[in-house]
Structure 1
Amino acid sequence: MAFKYARSAKLEKLLAILRDYSESDKILFGQQNAGHIGVSINAVDGSESDCKNLCGSHPAIVGVDTLSFLGYEGKMNDLIMVVRNMRRQGLIITLSSHMPNFSLGGEEFYDYSPNITEGDCGRRIMPGGDLNAKYRRFLDMIAEFASACVDVEGEKIPMIFRPFHECNGSWFWWGKDFLTDEEYIDLFRYTVDYLLGEKGVDNLAVCYSPNGVIANEKEFLARYPGDEYVDILGLDLYHDKPHKGDGFHHKLSTSLDVIYNVAKARGKISALTEIGYRSLETENGYFEGLAPAGNTIKDWFTSTLDTITSTEGGRRIAYMLVWANFSDTQFWLPFVTDDFRHEMCDDFIKFAEDKRIKMAPVFDFEDSV
């Protein structure tokens, strides 16, 4: 089934580029917030990144988030300029959305508090609910952002939109313990219908990305909104407490095979929408990402690439994306500063220079999508 809404010519070209990479022997590498958040960067305008400072190139894909609309991770106007700058450098943008719990009155999407998933948010923001108008105002900000992100020709920049991710977990208010499969599907469809239909946004491709591990097609499609609402089939899968022989690489490759087979059958693009080394408890403490030192698998990037490309499903993903470098104790990509060089820098440089990986630029300015 074809996608429901018309898209801009540049969005169609972006999808063609992603499809070409899914059929090639290269995988686009991405990182969240790389253009404006990092440990080693001085400029926050999209000109620098920890990745570029380490290996000489930006990631091919950079993720941004609607959190910036609410004052987290930057401000919307600043983020628009970052996106424009990265566009000029030949990068692809993906927009995730850690939406606030609209029923709490505040704007926190997740704050480790016991009530973050309370308030029946997912039902109350639907048409007929008392929070529907509030939700539409939030979606209006997404539409405003998508329209304001224009290239040097004044045309809207095509982006990948990834709402309601990790929907089969229960750490977000849209998770499986808080919305039935049918309610989640209705919410996803309503959101796309409002943005792409009622608001006429034509520069957003849509991505569906449950959390892994994914055992089979039925499991992956349990909350799938349908072919007419989705362009990209994604997977979020982190390597927690890594150690040799922990089975992660087998889980990763089998999950990617499942997703690729589903995508191939539906004429969609598959992607590894979030992945990362999450050390958690180590002898040095707790780290949501790489540990500053003492990581147990120091060749994680190159060994994970070997795993990904060992099966057809992994080789056919268009891109993979690691999470953001928020600080020197919360980061997913090794970095180098004047007085510190992370122990996994050499492995990442080897990964970035591998012929199977594509870094920025994805396209030349003269041939911009």
Structure 2
Amino acid sequence: MGWRGDSARSDIHSVCNDYPGLLSFDLGHIELGDSVNLDGVPFDRMRQEIFTHFNRGGVITLSWHLNNPLSGGTAWVADSLKNVETKTVASVLEGGQKHEMFLGWIDKVADFLNSLETPYGVKVPVIFRPWHEHTGSWFWWGQEHCTAAQYKALWKMTIDRLKDKG
């Protein structure tokens, strides 16, 4: 699908005369308050496309390649920052130096998710997959950068905060 042209255009539709069943976007940079995600897709446009896809009966997934809250770098681990990466998850958990800031980041995700409501009051269901590919170590939440207990706590904190925000 081309982001700068016809929003109804789709390679799948051109070949199969039907739209794909699955549509996925990344929420990276929503935590920074940016108007576009890390791929340059405007969040307003993303929301519009999510509604369109939902109305077609499609499934939506959202990943979140958020910046490293401790180093300020990207989600991906740089060799020069491996010392910092091992401390990042601990820094966002309760008692960590970045905990309050990080809760604010999750709140921005919650605000976006809560904006995915139809005029009839139906929230668009999404598969949210923020801490994916944990068994690799290319992200700051990866297996080599936190303990199993910290990883579970990161998930629990994320889920609890999103539930608190509706």
On whether the aligned pair clears a TM of 0.5, the verdict is yes
Residue 55 (str. 1) matches residue 16 (str. 2): yes
State the partner residue of 2:78: 113
Flag the 1:105–1:131 CA change in 2: closer, same or farther, 3 A.
same
Matches within 5 A, 1:110-189: 110=76, 113-115=78-80, 117-119=82-84, 120-189=87-156
| Cα contact 2:68–2:88 (8 A) shared by 1 | yes
Question: Residue 42 of structure 1 corresponds to which residue in structure 2?
Answer: 5
Q: Give identity over the alignment, percent.
A: 27
Distance 1:116 1:153 in 2: 47
**Offset, 1:48:** 2.5
Superposition TM-score, scaled by structure 1 size: 0.40
Contact kept in structure 1, 2:107 and 2:161, CA below 8 Å = no
Matched residue of 2:28: which SS?
Answer: helix
C-alpha distance in structure 1 between counterparts of 2:102 and 2:115, whole Å: 20
Displacement after TM superposition at 1:113 (Å): 3.4
Q: How far does residue 140 in structure 1 lie from its aligned partner after superposition?
A: 0.9
CA RMSD of aligned residues (A): 2.1
Instruction: Name the structure where helix makes up a greater proportion of residues.
Output: 2
Contact 1:170 1:177 in 2 (8 A): yes
Question: Residues 118, 57 of structure 1: CA spacing in aligned structure 2 closer, same or farther, 3 A cutoff?
Answer: farther
- Unpaired runs of 5+ residues, structure 1, are 1-33, 201-369
Could you give the per-residue CA deviations for residues 136-178 of structure 1, whole angstroms, max 9, x where no partner exists? 1211111111111122423211111112101011111111111
- Specify the SS of the correspondent of 1:133: helix
Q: Which has the larger radius of gyration?
A: 1
1:161/1:116 Cα in 2 relative to 1: closer, same or farther (>3 Å)?
A: farther
How many pairs does the alignment contain?
158
Q: Specify whether residues 170 and 199 from structure 1 end up closer, same or farther in structure 2 by C-alpha distance, changes over 3 A only.
A: same
Instruction: Mark the runs of 5 or more structure 2 residues left unpaired by the alignment.
Output: none
What is the TM-score when the length of structure 2 is the normalising length? 0.84
Q: Are the equivalent residues in 1 in contact too, given 2:117–2:124 (CA < 8 A)?
A: yes
Per-residue deviation, 1:78: 1.9
Q: Match of 1:81, as an amino acid? A: Q
Structure with bigger strand share is: 1
**SS of 1:94's equivalent?**
strand
SS at match of 1:62: strand
